[in-house]
Amino acid sequence: VLEFLATFQLCCCTHELQLLSEQHPAHPTWTLTLVYFFSLVHGLTLVGTSSNPCGVMMQMMLGGMSPETGAVRLLAQLVSALCSRYCTSALWSLGLTQYHVSERSFACKNPIQVDLLKAVITEAVCSFFFHSALLHFQEVRTKLRIHLLAALITFLVYAGGSLTGAVFNPALALSLHFMCFDEAFPQFFIVYWLAPSLGILLMILMFSFFLPWLHNNHTINKKE
């Protein structure tokens, strides 16, 4: 239930954020400020959830979650992503502002502005850095950790937003670009599902095999 609510909140906020950013394309600092704010709100509420299938995969690979629990959480995230899309459309159909138009949420606006290889690298690198920070910031005090992660998310969106949107979250990508998945499934599946998963795999391989001392220190500190 918590995963469902957290993913629902994340997707709805991002739909609204995407809408607001399109109204002020000449002022990217406004968009980045909103990214930081929404990241803080999401980090302060529903603590203990990942809202990201890649986060669940990371926990399962590291032995912190059973496959059964992981499967249930993944299902909750994907169902929530689709529900948020249709709930957002229903809310926008009320026409609360001039920008809220229900048809907009069902239109495919391809955010990929580079070739497939660069898009894969962008999403994989964003996923790698974000989940590396998520793993190694666990010993940091909660309030400080939330600000650090929000700042990192804002930086990643700034760096990769113009290339792929810097989503690095398969559930969020499904909610934002559902129609694009329907029209160009192979491309979007590779960029927004496989690439972030590849970033997770590379992160685990690097810290477990190439930098085991760092991973061991993290494990010891967590136990303490």
Instruction: Please state the pTM of the whole predicted model.
Output: 0.87
Q: How far apart are CA 53 and CA 74, in angstroms?
A: 6
pLDDT tens digit sequence for 139-195: 788 889 999 999 999 999 999 988 998 899 999 999 988 888 877 888 999 999 999
pLDDT tens digit sequence for 94-134: 877 777 766 665 677 888 999 999 999 999 999 999 999 98
pLDDT tens digit sequence for 40-97: 988 888 778 889 999 999 999 888 899 999 999 999 999 999 999 889 888 888 877 7
With residue 145 as reference, give the H or E element that holds it: helix 142-160
DSSP string, 156-205: HHHHHTTTT-----HHHHHHHSHHHHHHSHHHHHIIIIIHHHHHHHHHHH
Tokens of 117: 């290889």
CATH numbers and ranges of domains, the chain = 1-222 (1.20.1080.10)
Quick one: pLDDT at residue 220? 43
